[in-house]
Amino acid sequence: MARPHGRKIRQQVKELLKNPDRQTALDRLAQIPDPQLKGHLFFFFYNRNELIRFRSVTAMGHLGFRMGENHMEKARDLMRRLMWNLNDESGGIGWGSAEAMGEILSRHPGLAAEFDSIMFSFLDPEANFIDNPQLQQGILWGIGTYAQAAPDRISAYRASLIVPFMDDKDPVKKTYATRALNHAGRLDPDTLSEDLLADQTKIWMYTGWTFETARICDLIRETTKQRNAR
């Protein structure tokens, strides 16, 4: 249970996560001492409001970057805690942890060099494969966010771990996988099935501070347009 002062800060964090102005919210969150902010952001990973949950992930990404710049070992500890949350032995669900890992990796190349292999191992049946469908969504979203910032880090092998999810029955996982491959420059429309090319299923996808609709057919069309413009 949060102490009186802790409850006040937690409420402050919640109000900032509700702020529609992304930069203002992140700037004010950065004024809260890192150790306190970290605990409250973990708390909001489990908020009932999906927008607040995702915004806490974004804020954790910025916090991880600051820690990596100022206290690298503390940043490593943060990454290890996120990894532990995804471990069966942690006893928790782990929601938000993979997404936060992706956010941090996308912002701090030093941490990415140390930890991005762990992120991909969660999709590898020969490594640390996670079979929980909800966590798989988070892993694919996190990898897509990382791929957007560092497409050169997505090797052919790493892309091959994402490809199977494009045939998943879950439209969220399919769309997140398509997004990740698109950002990585590893999506080849010529190799895709007619069903995928015509898939107009809409999902709500978090894009950094808001939700937007996304469709696989639009992501593929974007890839084709970019390739033709070269």
pLDDT at 187: 95
Q: What residue segments make up the domains of the chain, in order of their start?
A: 50-229
Three-state DSSP class for residue 168: coil
Report helix, strand and coil shares of the chain as percent, to nearest 5.
Answer: 70, 5, 25
Annotation: CATH topology of 50-229: Leucine-rich Repeat Variant (1.25.10)
Q: How many whole angstroms separate alpha carbon 193 and alpha carbon 19?
A: 41
**Residue 162 in contact with residue 123, Cβ under 8 Å?**
yes
pLDDT at 93: 76
pLDDT at 89: 56
pLDDT at 11: 97
Residue 183, exposed/middle/buried by CB under 10 A (0-12, 13-18, 19+)?
buried
DSSP for 189-210, please give it.
GGGS-HHHHT---EEEEE-SSS
Give, for all 230 residues of the chain, the pLDDT tens digit: 455 568 999 999 999 999 999 999 999 999 999 999 999 999 999 999 999 999 999 999 999 999 999 999 999 999 999 999 998 654 567 899 999 999 999 999 999 999 999 999 999 999 999 999 999 999 999 999 999 999 999 999 999 999 999 999 999 999 999 999 999 999 999 999 999 999 999 999 999 999 999 999 999 998 888 777 76
pLDDT at 3: 56
pLDDT at 223: 87
Which residue in 45, 186, 209, 16 sits closest to 219, CA to CA?
A: 186
Q: What is this structure's pTM? A: 0.94
Which residue in 122, 111, 127, 62 sits closest to 86, CA to CA?
A: 122
pLDDT at 88: 63
